[in-house]
Amino acid sequence: MLEFTEEQRLIRSEIENLCADFEDEYWREKDRNAEYPMDFVQTLGDHGWLGTVIPEEYGGAGLDTLEASIILEEIVASGAGFNGSMACHGAMFIPRSLINYGSEEMKEEYLPKVASGEELMQCFALTEPNAGFDSTAITTRAEKEGDHYVINGQKTWCSRLHASDYMVLVARTTPKEEVDKKTDGMSLFLVDINDAKAQDAIDADEIEKNIRAAVPSYEVWFEDLEVPAENLIGEEGRGFHQVMDGLNEERVVIAAEAVGLARRRIRRRTGGVRPPDRVESGDSTPPRRSVRPDDQRSEHHVPGRQSVQRGQRRRRGGERLRLHGSRGGLGGDGRRRPDARRLRRRDGVRRRTLLP
């Protein structure tokens, strides 16, 4: 039997409290108007949750994939659905390559701003019109010229471009035909989106889609985009291997989000409440049947939930965290307010303390 630590249970209840301020009508309106839930994302940022996986020395909460999964599962289960989780889940895996492979200078410059929510690193550009599952087929090129790289090419399905300050871009520094292994010759770059706009070297078109309307995805073109050489993340040519850390993390958090959706569904069913519409899936088909006895089970008994959690633990790979002396911070209305920044480690032991 898998058990959560006290700290993980606390994180779950804190996210539940935070999401309670964003009710069903808020999400319905965002979906209906195809409007990005910036105030929700900003609220997560204000409470430090966008820095969940960023190490504490760079201002983050220093948590890991399991806690990120708990947060995203809870966001979806609150009724926010995939509009809620996808609005912010980039923050849980896109900074990963920078954390694991970035230079110390890069980490010090960018991670604190991202951890505080002051700037957003929520855009990831890998997929191309002819490179989907086979990522090694990308043709977007980055050529080194002196102290910078010049990037040309096209990406597709770049989500949250409009709501990001930084993009992690995967480009070929050596064409596929010239490498021994097709996974070689790809590199990661941190692109400052505002700088790319100022250079007039980026163009984008929103992709029309019929689900998850509040979180747009874009077709993106780069023409002679100059990126400083120091924005290369990790080692040139090793980008495929480096990006896998983040992509594997994304797979795990998306599985947790699906569990959250199932919990939401069961909660609706066991409450006997007819959903006004299915914001979570974007499917407006009315429910086919009323509550049946076999729906009268706990929303926490979602089939597959334990195997998702086992996967999250395996990804963690490190120490099991312990919590000592938890205290809840109170908001002006007396309700406990969540705040990742109150999770701090002392003497190797994680404690939850109030911010000064």
Ligand X SMILES: Cc1cc2nc3c(=O)[nH]c(=O)nc-3n(C[C@H](O)[C@H](O)[C@H](O)COP(=O)(O)OP(=O)(O)OC[C@H]3O[C@@H](n4cnc5c(N)ncnc54)[C@H](O)[C@@H]3O)c2cc1C
Under rule CB under 6 A, residue 158 binds ligand X? yes
| Shortest Å distance, C-beta 98 to ligand X | 16
**Following CA atoms 15, 18, 19, 22 in sequence, which dihedral angle do they give, to the nearest 10 degrees?**
-170
Nearer to ligand X, 52 or 127 (CB): 127
| Helices 65-75 and 6-19, packing angle to 10 deg | 30
Minimal CB distance to ligand X: which residue? 132
Which CB, 125 or 190, lies closer to ligand X? Answer: 125
Nearer to ligand X, 158 or 321 (CB): 158
Nearest Cα to 167, choosing from 202, 123, 199? 123
DSSP 191-250: EEHHHHHHTT-EEEEEPP-SS-TTS-EEEEEEEEEEEEGGGEESSTTBHHHHHHHHHHHH
State in angstroms the smallest separation of the CB of 126 from ligand X: 4
**Binding string, residues 200-229; x marks residues near ligand X by CB under 6 A:** -----------------x------------
CA distance 28 to 47: 24
Residue with tokens 């076999």: 294
Q: Is the CB of 115 or the CB of 123 nearer to ligand X? A: 123
Q: How far is the CB of 176 from ligand X (least distance, A)?
A: 15
Instruction: Determine which residue in the list 101, 124, 189, 240 makes contact with ligand X, applying CB under 6 A.
Output: 124
With CB under 6 A as the contact rule, the residue among 104, 133, 292, 355 that binds ligand X is 133
Interface with ligand X in residues 317-346 (CB under 6 A) = none
* Overall size of the chain counted in residues: 356
For 19-83, the DSSP string reads HTTS-HHHHHHHHHTT---HHHHHHHHHTTGGGTTS-GGGTS----HHHHHHHHHHHIIIIIHHH
Instruction: Establish if 85 lies at the interface with ligand X (CB under 6 A).
Output: no
Does residue number 132 form part of the binding site for ligand X (CB under 6 A)? yes
- Count residues near ligand X (CB under 6 A): 11
Is 157 one of the binding residues for ligand X (CB under 6 A)? yes
- Note the residues at the interface with ligand X (CB under 6 A): 124-127, 132-134, 157-159, 217
